[in-house]
Structure 1
Amino acid sequence: MSDNFEPFVHFAPLAQTLPLVCDSPHSGTQYPQDFRAAVPAQRLRGGEDTHVEALWEAVPQAGGTLIAANFPRVYIDPNRTLDDLDPSLLDGTWPEPLAPGEKTRLGYGLIWRNIDAATPIYDRKLSLEEVRNRIDRYYRPYHQALSGAVEETYRRFGAVWHLNLHSMPNNAYERLKIQSAHPLADFVLGDRDGTTCEPAFVDLVDAELRSLGYTVARNDPYKGVQLIAQIGRPAEWRNSLQIEIRRPLYMDEVTRERNAGFDQLQADLGRLIERIAVYLEEQGRG
């Protein structure tokens, strides 16, 4: 654990030729010293979308922008609103109004309470000061970097397509306490039930992934949370789509090591980015 790291890394293209901004808010693997969790580091790593930023290395190579968090979401989650905070975690009263959501009730809010349903992360309450520090030192800089990239891209091209990049555990339905009649898809595309991204772009991503041999679902079980909600306004040429990848496709969920499927998946995502680039050019936006 160390505090000697930047809150995010910005993979910029040599020249931005595409109105494409991607972010990986949950792939961070550097744990701040003040975390003071009561569970082993290996258990904490279960919350990581480990290697997701590496899977999508084709984005800056193709002329888009990729931003990835360096801090772990179990410490503070940049894909949650600031009011999505569990008051039971705190040793005092938060001075602003709070509105914890359903995932916060399960233990996965702005600051995670549990690593799984049976395992709390802390054996103590968090001080208001340390929560403020997490917000100011990590959460806000990440949001500022992403917002800056989105707005600069929109200014330059008159449009922006944003991909919010994640990976999901193989037991996602179980973690979310959802009874599903079918297995988890290889990819889940989330557009908050059609509200954050133009349908043609979602169709394109869906069709390309299926053509590569993957199973695809939409908004099941992940619809997307804060980041695509605040960026996606397709009527204004601001499109935002969340992409979840089933982790066993590319890594061992216990060791977090890349498995034999990593290289093929990385190459396939490169093909997807190539197809997206063609689409954006056809729109007159690339």
Structure 2
Amino acid sequence: MTDDCELFEVREPETQSIPFVYNSPHSGRRYPAEFLDESQLDSMAIRRSEDHFVDELFGAAPDFGAPLLLAHFPRAFVDVNREPYELDPRMFSDPLPPFANSHSVRVAGGLGTIPRIVAENMEIYGRRMPVSVALERIENIYKPYHARLRQLIARTHARFGFGVLIDCHSMPGNIRIGGNGIRPDFIIGDRYGTSASVELSHAALQMLEDLGFTAVRNKPYAGGFITEHYGRPVRGLHALQIEVNRALYIDEATLRKRPDFHALAGSIAVFMGQMAAFVADYTGTSALAAE
């Protein structure tokens, strides 16, 4: 079953049979014509912040009995993996409302709720916009998206007494870890053990490594607003962010899928099945209590 919407979509299993919710908030690729007209970037450059085809990589979620929420709107238009009002005053022609957070690290980097840049520090807009434009996007896109995500998580928790949110993302192929220069294939983020059980994170890492991938935890991506906001291990709600290295499955210059795209999707499906089995073994025990 599908719940179609111009802005986002929930792909539902016939019956939700596992306590998982999958979320792909940055894979949207429907760019409003007026937004493209306002941008000073071309149609290829504006896409540099997308989590390209991540919704397809994790598309098997309903086959395993879990809903998959995915955005159709692009991250460059509004970023739902931020606080609702992380806004950069340099972008606007009038003052921000007093409740806006204009001092976060993400705002300073140009990646607030209404992004100022796409990857590689490319400025999206050639001129300032009215604050009302940002507030309209937050009201009409950001808030409905989070309302739907909250509903899915609450339904899952009510049904199973337990829930795992997997927040699905991709990362640039040039990411390296610290001084050792390792290029990770996957990064599992749990906000340093605060958004999910450490044991759940370690199980995810081990599964990926057993599938032949290089997987690390929290560095350089520990999880964004969604992971932090919805992960409540003490209440039996766990949230993991998973980053997939784009070099594994697309040509980053052309943004076209590589021939082994479907093989990677198949490996991710195996991982999803293994995660479901792992949680089934431990649900109701103390093994996934917060640490």
Scaled by the length of structure 1, the TM-score of the pair is 0.92
- CA deviation string 1:59-116 (max 9, x = no partner): 1100011100000111110000023211111111112333232132121121111224
Equivalent pair of 1:90/1:125 in contact (CA under 8 Å): yes
User: Runs of at least 4 residues of structure 1 off by over 3 A?
Assistant: 178-181
What is the DSSP-based 3-state SS (H/G/I as helix, E as strand, rest coil) of the residue aligned with 1:255? coil
Structure-2 separation of matches of 1:149 and 1:244 = 22
What is the DSSP-based 3-state SS (H/G/I as helix, E as strand, rest coil) of the residue aligned with 1:47? coil
**Match in the other structure for 1:157:** 160
Equivalent pair of 1:7/1:141 in contact (CA under 8 Å): no
Pairing 1:128-277 to 2, within 5 Å after superposition: 128-172=131-175, 180-277=179-276
Structure-2 separation of matches of 1:245 and 1:227 = 17
Letter of the 2:92 counterpart: L
Structure 1 position 32, deviation (Å): 1.8
- CA deviation string 1:216-262 (max 9, x = no partner): 11111101111011110111100000000000101111222110221
Letter of the 2:215 counterpart: V
Equivalent pair of 2:172/2:246 in contact (CA under 8 Å): yes
Structure-2 separation of matches of 1:120 and 1:181 = 32
**Match in the other structure for 1:29:** 29
Structure-1 separation of matches of 2:144 and 2:164 = 21
Equivalent pair of 2:175/2:184 in contact (CA under 8 Å): no
Greater CA drift, 216-225 or 32-41: 32-41
Letter of the 2:81 counterpart: N
Pick aligned residue for 1:105 from 73, 86, 108: 108
**Match in the other structure for 2:71:** 69
Matched, 1:39 2:41: yes
Matched, 1:17 2:34: no
RMSD: 1.6
Greater CA drift, 65-74 or 275-284: 275-284
Equivalent pair of 2:166/2:239 in contact (CA under 8 Å): yes
Structure 1 position 277, deviation (Å): 1.6
**Match in the other structure for 2:128:** 125
Equivalent pair of 1:7/1:137 in contact (CA under 8 Å): no
Structure 1 position 209, deviation (Å): 0.2
Structure 1 position 189, deviation (Å): 0.7
Letter of the 1:198 counterpart: S
Structure 1 position 181, deviation (Å): 4.1
Equivalent pair of 1:106/1:117 in contact (CA under 8 Å): no
Residue ranges of structure 1 left out of the alignment (5+ in a row): none
Equivalent pair of 1:81/1:110 in contact (CA under 8 Å): yes
Greater CA drift, 96-105 or 253-262: 96-105
What is the DSSP-based 3-state SS (H/G/I as helix, E as strand, rest coil) of the residue aligned with 1:22? strand
Pick aligned residue for 1:85 from 74, 84, 87: 87
What is the DSSP-based 3-state SS (H/G/I as helix, E as strand, rest coil) of the residue aligned with 1:217? strand
Matched, 1:94 2:96: yes
Scaled by the length of structure 2, the TM-score of the pair is 0.91
Letter of the 2:162 counterpart: A
Residue ranges of structure 2 left out of the alignment (5+ in a row): 285-291
Equivalent pair of 1:74/1:112 in contact (CA under 8 Å): yes
Structure 1 position 30, deviation (Å): 0.3
